[in-house]
Amino acid sequence: MAANTEKIEQKDKVIICFESLLNLIRKFLLKKDDIKNVEDLNNRILIAKLRPHIDSFQLSKIKGLHMLYRHISNGFTPVKKDSERFIKQVEELSEIFDPSKPEKIKRILEIIQTVTDNIIRYSYEEWAKEYSKAIVEIAKRVQRVSEYMANIGDLDGIFNYYSNLIKDFRESKIGKLLEDHDKNEFSSEFEKIQEIYYME
Give the Cα separation of 34 and 20 in Å (integer). 23
* pLDDT band per the 50, 70, 90 thresholds, residue 86: confident
Its pTM stands at 0.59
Could you tell me which residues come within 8 angstroms of residue 197 by beta carbon, excluding any fewer than 6 positions away? Answer: 104, 108, 155, 159
Q: How far is residue 37 from each of residues 30, 41, 98, 194, measured CA to CA in Å?
A: 9, 9, 39, 43
Q: Structural domain boundaries of the chain?
A: 2-97, 101-198
Provide the 10 A C-beta neighbour count for residue 195.
Answer: 11
Give the Cα separation of 83 and 65 in Å (integer). 11
Give the Cα separation of 91 and 13 in Å (integer). 12
Which amino acid would we find at residue 64? G
Indicate the SS3 state at residue 189: coil
Half-sphere exposure of 24 (CA within 13 A, CB side): 21
Higher pLDDT, 6 or 160: 160
Cβ pair 185, 162 in contact under 8 A: no
Q: Please, what's the b/e burial string for 144-157 (b: 16 or more CB within 10 A of its CB; e: otherwise)?
A: ebbeebbebbbbbb
What pLDDT score does 115 carry?
93
Give the Cα separation of 7 and 165 in Å (integer). 34
State mean pLDDT over 100-104: 85
| pLDDT greater than 90 at residue 126 | yes
| pLDDT greater than 60 at residue 54 | yes
Which amino acid would we find at residue 198? Y
State mean pLDDT over 158-182: 88
Give the Cα separation of 194 and 108 in Å (integer). 9
Higher pLDDT, 101 or 63: 101
* pLDDT band per the 50, 70, 90 thresholds, residue 82: confident
